[in-house]
């Protein structure tokens, strides 16, 4: 039985996207592509691998690639009160290795640049997943990506330019009312709310600010994808990564990696590593059911850190309250132990 997959929360223009799954059959594990075609819902075999351990990461990566490739050409760009289309240039990366570098360049909009970066990550994960399978399997997956890219281009051209769709039995149709799509915790950034939040950040900013903001957002996305800190959370519309053990109470600490805000919100115009602590709103509340964050120290930089520096910081903190508490005692002029980030300001008398 095929998995039930949630649809994107908006029916803007419609989303035609392929859903991938795996199915055991005669000692092999089939990787299946399910989509709407002229005859209705259709399922076809992409390829087969030896076991579910090999199939699972391939299926996961294909679902992310399909979602990140499809959504930008399926929703409206409503910035500035207009209804426009997002570019389709990212589709080239599905079939052309040399085009992948374009996913990490550009400044169309914060949301579109974020989706391109996440598509780049998914393509890299697919590369890693297929490294262990035989060449015929890799070839079959390449053919599948070509079919996906071709279907998206044809649907986009038919919608925007009136180019007739080819009359083929295996055509993948672009449905608007009940689309197939895997959008969950593994495919962040695709909901209408995600898009609207980033759109609001870029209101009234210059093209240079947009370009710099897109580069900073890519840096945060890359660092977050590479760290192994399970407590880390990326808040892309806030341009920050937070490591918070969620232990409200006196002297419980959390860490924020903060990029400059493109629109200057919160007076953030430089990179900052900040350690704060939770201060209970009611000191007599033993459960500390509510608390307010209070800054302890900052490590401000005028130039962006490297991806590896942020990854090292997040891996070192690791969501461990004792590590954050130790860092909270660092003096001005000293680096947080095990990192390159130097404390530039304390907010207490130390």
3-state helix, strand, coil in the chain (%, to 5): 40, 20, 40
Q: What is the pLDDT of residues 209-238, one digit of tens each?
A: 999 999 999 999 999 999 999 999 999 999
Q: What is the pLDDT of residues 57-113, one digit of tens each?
A: 999 999 999 989 988 888 889 998 888 889 999 999 999 999 999 999 999 999 999
Predicted local confidence at residue 286, as pLDDT: 63
Residue 30 CB partners (closer than 8 Å, separation 6+): 22, 23, 24, 45, 46, 47, 48
C-alpha span between 190 and 279 (Å, rounded): 34
222 and 111, same domain (yes or no) = no
Predicted local confidence at residue 178, as pLDDT: 40
Predicted local confidence at residue 150, as pLDDT: 87
pTM score, whole prediction:
0.88
Bigger pLDDT: 175 vs 49:
49
Predicted local confidence at residue 284, as pLDDT: 66
163 and 227, same domain (yes or no) = no
144 and 258, same domain (yes or no) = no
168 and 220, same domain (yes or no) = no
Task: Count other C-beta atoms under 10 Å from residue 173's C-beta.
Answer: 15
Task: Count other C-beta atoms under 10 Å from residue 6's C-beta.
Answer: 10
Residue 59 lies in a domain: yes
Q: Which domain holds residue 35?
A: 19-191
Residue 317 confidence (pLDDT) above 70: yes
User: For every residue of 144-196, which 3-state class applies, written as one string?
Assistant: HHHHHHHHHHHHHHHHHHCCCCCCCCCCCCCCCCCCCCCCCCCCCCCCHHHHH
Q: Is the Cβ–Cβ distance between 343 and 350 less than 8 Å?
A: no
149 and 117, same domain (yes or no) = yes
287 and 247, same domain (yes or no) = yes
Predicted local confidence at residue 110, as pLDDT: 97
Average pLDDT over the chain, rounded to an integer: 86
161 and 36, same domain (yes or no) = yes
**Structure confidence at residue 327 as a pLDDT band (50, 70, 90):** very high
Predicted local confidence at residue 8, as pLDDT: 38
Bigger pLDDT: 165 vs 341:
341
Predicted local confidence at residue 175, as pLDDT: 55
327 and 180, same domain (yes or no) = no
Percent of the chain with pLDDT over 90: 63
Residue 10 lies in a domain: no
Selection from 209, 169, 133, 160 nearest residue 35 by Cα: 169
Residue 115 confidence (pLDDT) above 80: yes
How many domains is the chain built from?
Answer: 2
Predicted local confidence at residue 174, as pLDDT: 61
Q: Which of 156, 191, 226 is the last residue of a domain?
A: 191
Residue 32 lies in a domain: yes
Bigger pLDDT: 37 vs 320:
320
- According to DSSP, residue 318 is labeled T
**Structure confidence at residue 13 as a pLDDT band (50, 70, 90):** very low
Bigger pLDDT: 315 vs 8:
315
Residue 171 confidence (pLDDT) above 80: no
Predicted local confidence at residue 157, as pLDDT: 74
Helix (H) or strand (E) holding 70: helix 52-70
């Amino acid at each position: 039985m095929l998995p039930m997959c949630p649809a994107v929360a908006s029916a803007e223009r419609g989303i035609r996207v392929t859903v991938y799954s795996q199915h055991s059959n005669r000692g092999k594990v089939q990787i299946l592509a399910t989509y709407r075609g002229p005859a209705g819902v259709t399922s076809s075999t992409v390829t087969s691998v030896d076991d579910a351990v090999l199939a699972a990461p391939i299926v996961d990566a294909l679902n992310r690639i399909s979602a990140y490739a499809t959504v930008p050409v399926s929703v409206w760009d409503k910035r500035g009160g207009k209804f426009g289309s997002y570019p389709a240039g990212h589709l080239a990366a599905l079939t052309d290795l040399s085009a992948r570098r374009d996913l990490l360049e550009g400044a169309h909009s914060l949301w579109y640049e974020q989706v391109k970066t996440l598509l780049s990550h998914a393509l890299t994960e697919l590369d890693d997943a297929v490294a262990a399978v035989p060449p015929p399997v890799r070839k079959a997956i390449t053919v599948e990506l070509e079919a996906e890219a071709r279907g998206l281009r044809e649907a986009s051209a038919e919608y925007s330019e009136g180019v007739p769709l080819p009359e083929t039995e295996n055509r993948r149709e672009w449905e608007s009312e009940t689309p197939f799509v895997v959008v969950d915790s593994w495919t962040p950034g695709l909901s209408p709310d995600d898009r609207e939040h980033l759109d609001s950040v870029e209101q009234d900013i210059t093209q240079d600010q947009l370009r710099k903001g897109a580069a900073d957002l890519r840096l945060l996305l890359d660092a977050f994808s590479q760290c192994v800190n399970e407590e880390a959370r990326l808040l892309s519309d806030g341009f920050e990564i937070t490591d918070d053990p969620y232990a409200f109470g006196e002297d419980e600490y959390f860490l924020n990696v903060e990029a400059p805000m493109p629109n200057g919100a919160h007076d953030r115009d430089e990179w900052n590593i900040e350690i704060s602590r939770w201060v209970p709103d009611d000191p007599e509340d033993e459960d500390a059911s509510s608390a307010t964050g209070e800054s302890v120290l900052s490590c401000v930089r005028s130039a962006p850190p490297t991806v590896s520096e942020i990854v090292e910081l997040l891996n070192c903190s690791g969501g461990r309250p004792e590590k954050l508490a130790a860092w909270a005692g660092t003096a001005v002029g000293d680096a947080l132990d095990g990192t390159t980030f130097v404390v530039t300001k304390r907010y207490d008398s130390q």
